[in-house]
Amino acid sequence: MRLFVGLGNPGAKYAQNRHNIGFMAVEEIARRHGFAPWRRRFQGETSEGTLDRERVVLLKPTTYMNESGRAVQEAANFFKIAAGDVTVFQDELELPAAKVRVKVGGGIAGHNGLRSISSHIGNDYRRVRLGIGHPGIKELVHSHVLSDFAKSDRPWVEALCEVIADNAALLAAGQDASFANKVHLALQSKGFLDKGDNGAAKGD
């Protein structure tokens, strides 16, 4: 069994924020693969289903970002899921828009959601880092992540979530490099990534 965690803040106010792209990704996985209706538990919302015969629990913590680890720990303990079988979908400032990287462990780069999760279950979970771009000035970071995607961003955000959902079974099977490559190539073919960039499988 796998636990897929989308990071974000609860409520309509935050629904379209850049910080909520993790929520958007797991919601699309649930839609694409006919998962069960979302239900409130574990200080979050969960939806269960299967990806290529692998049972997967999707979780959206409703604790606000900086307390995400409480919900993750509750769900992981209930289902007896080890940290190595937890995958977290997060927004990533240090990656260009629409770029995806997959890594296990590593630093938290100031991400409050990751900090909370690491403090509750350790650091050995998988992160799917979803690039949202950097505003260029440190002082603008807070308002950047907590502001809505621009209308011009919607096409690549929707395409990214769809491609992630299309290939989510590879993550459930532990085929991280294949997942990253397929996502990258699909977004490249749709014109959202530079044709000269082929580094999707790198961990960092």
Active-site residue list? 19
C-beta separation of 168 from 51 below 8 A = yes
Which of 98, 149, 80, 112 minimizes the C-alpha distance to 88?
112
Non-local (6+) Cβ contacts of 154 within 8 A are none
Over its C-alpha atoms, the chain yields an Rg (Å, rounded) of 15
User: 10 Å Cβ neighbour count for 120?
Assistant: 18
Structure tokens at 88: 């977290």
Instruction: Say how far apart CA 93 and CA 134 lie, in whole Å.
Output: 5
Instruction: Say how far apart CA 144 and CA 93 lie, in whole Å.
Output: 9
Listed in order, strand segments (DSSP E) in the chain are 2-6, 39-41, 44-51, 54-61, 86-92, 100-104, 126-131
